[in-house]
Amino acid sequence: MTATRDIPSGTAPAACRYKVPFVRPDLPAFDDVEPVFRRVFASGILTKGPELARLEAAARRLTGADDVVAVSSCTVGLALGLAALRHMQGDPSRREVILPSFTFLAGPGAVTWAGFEPVFVEVDAATWTISPADVAAAITPHTAAILACHTFGNPCDLAGLTRLAAEADVPLMVDAAHALGSLAGGRQVGGEGFAQVFSMSPTKLAVAGEGGLVATSSASFAALLRELREYGNDGAYGCTLPGLNGRLPELSAALGHASLERLPEACRRRQAAAEAYLDVLRGASGIGFQTIAPGGTTSWKDFSITIDPPLFGVDRDAIRRHLALRGIDSRAYYSPPCHRMAGFERYHLHGPTLPVTDSLSARSLSLPMGAHVTPDVARMVANEVLDTRR
Ligand SMILES: Cc1ncc(COP(=O)(O)O)c(C=O)c1O
């Protein structure tokens, strides 16, 4: 397949047939951002300037959230957001944050950085997002927050979780790292719940280099977050809650803004690639897919499948080896799941078994996705997955 031969990869063995990196950033054309970069250089304002304000305003319009605070990464947004929440609650007995174990370690990492304890619960076997029933069972008087996740771009059950959060009087936060381009009820997610935190790192649909966006319905939370990303400085060189340098530089904000403007294009491209993957893989015995929740639209931040070895004939890791030999990069995301990581397992010593999480962790496989994955590339990769059995 000549279309893929010229895709450079730093990791592909020299002699292999294809060179398909796992991801390639979906960037605007340089000519489109050059004038803005020149403007930033000419102004000499490299941080806390007009580009930051422009990005925050665009993200507010996109998400419909009351406010959006841009920060240096999604991880920093989650950590500072949870620290702000802890301060606002002011109740040391509320020390637990409920979240899925089948997620990226930045989630529980932020929970512990903010001084909370992670409480890991199960995900739904079909959607791979946090199960509201398991959240309900885990809520106690010690619960400070629910931290759901739009895993791989698939919107979590926002309606169910919002209801649950209201009934339990517990704020709903969402790790929305994968969710620029994810829709609920036809509109970009972000306005629901207490706060949702997006990532603009290079693997995402809109890229700032590094960057995060905290969308929130709470004005006091947004105000505190703006202090926390500024060391905790209250503006008069006083400090009630210590923070960090969590600022997003102007050049990143400018790139992020240009990238947000072409989000619909990135969504269309990933949708076309996902459809091509599905065309080839749907119907193959032993391959499963993430079910997109009714009323939801995934960003396809990742295209992930599950492998059932007895039915498919080989296991996930054999497929990964087969692809790697052909220069096709893949990921076994969330393997191990967070509750089995040395840094977090002590929080789960008395936790429930998480069979769906363990099973997804052992069987799921994420295939290349991003600016370089045209429908032709996706079909070729999918056929190589099927060829593993030969
Ligand atoms: C689910 C999830 N949460 C959080 C993050 C952290 O995002 P960032 O790299 O912007 O800190 C990631 C990173 O990809 C992620 O996948």
What is the CA(96)–ligand 1 centre distance, in A? 21
* pLDDT recorded at residue 6: 41
- Report pLDDT for 7: 46
Q: Where are the beta strands (DSSP E) in the chain?
A: 67-71, 96-100, 117-121, 143-149, 172-176, 183-184, 187-188, 195-199, 212-216, 287-289, 296-297, 303-307, 364-367
pLDDT tens-place string over residues 23-37: 999 999 999 999 999
The ligand 1 atom nearest the CA atom of 103: 1
Give the mean pLDDT of the chain.
Answer: 95
pLDDT range class, residue 310, cuts 50, 70, 90: very high
Using CA atoms in the order 266, 58, 154, 116, what is the torsion angle rounded to 10 degrees?
130
pLDDT tens, position by position, 137-189: 999 999 999 999 999 999 999 999 999 999 999 999 999 999 999 999 999 99
| Whole-structure pTM value | 0.95
Q: Assign 12 a pLDDT band (cuts: 50, 70, 90).
A: very low
Q: What is the mean pLDDT of residues 99-118?
A: 98
Band of the pLDDT at 285, cuts 50, 70, 90? very high
CA of 56 to the centre of ligand 1 (A): 19
CA distances from 142 to 91, 94, 98, 168 (A): 9, 4, 10, 11
Lining ligand 1 with CB less than 6 A are: 73-75, 103-104, 106-107, 149, 175, 177-178, 199, 201, 203, 212
Distance of CA 65 from the midpoint of ligand 1 (Å): 20
The DSSP string of 164-196 is: HHHHHT--EEEEETT-TT-EETTEES-SSSSEE
Q: What is the pLDDT of residue 55?
A: 98
pLDDT value of position 390: 81
Contact 354, 337 (CB under 8 A): yes
What integer is the mean pLDDT of 320-349?
A: 98
Res. 13: pLDDT tops 60: no
CA of 159 to the centre of ligand 1 (A): 23
Give the tokens for residue 325: 């030999």
pLDDT-derived band at 15 (thresholds 50, 70, 90) equals low
Residue 47 in 3-state DSSP?
strand
The answer on pLDDT for 292 being more than 80 is yes
Contact 381, 280 (CB under 8 A): no
Supply the pLDDT for residue 220. Answer: 98
The DSSP bridge pattern shows strands 67-71 and 364-367 to be unpaired
Q: Tell me, what's the pLDDT at 17?
A: 76
pLDDT of residue 293: 86
- How much of the chain, in percent, has pLDDT values that exceed 90? 94
pLDDT at position 296 over 90: yes
Is the pLDDT higher at 9 or at 112? 112
What's at 383, amino acid-wise?
Answer: N
Tell me the mean pLDDT in the region 312-327: 97
Ligand 1 pocket test target in 201, 210, 300, 304 with most atoms within 8 Å of CB: 201
Best residue for ligand 1 mutational test, from 199, 229, 259, 300 (most atoms within 8 Å of Cβ): 199
- Report the pLDDT value the prediction gives residue 11, as an integer from 0 to 100: 47
pLDDT at 18: 81
Distance between CA atoms of 140 and 308, rounded to whole angstroms?
Answer: 36
Q: How far apart are CA 76 and CA 263, in angstroms?
A: 23
Distance 311 CA to ligand 1 centre (A): 33
User: How high is the pLDDT of residue 311?
Assistant: 97
Q: Provide mean pLDDT across the span 112-124.
A: 98
Does the pLDDT value for residue 322 go beyond 90? yes
| The two structure tokens encoding residue 142 | 């010690």
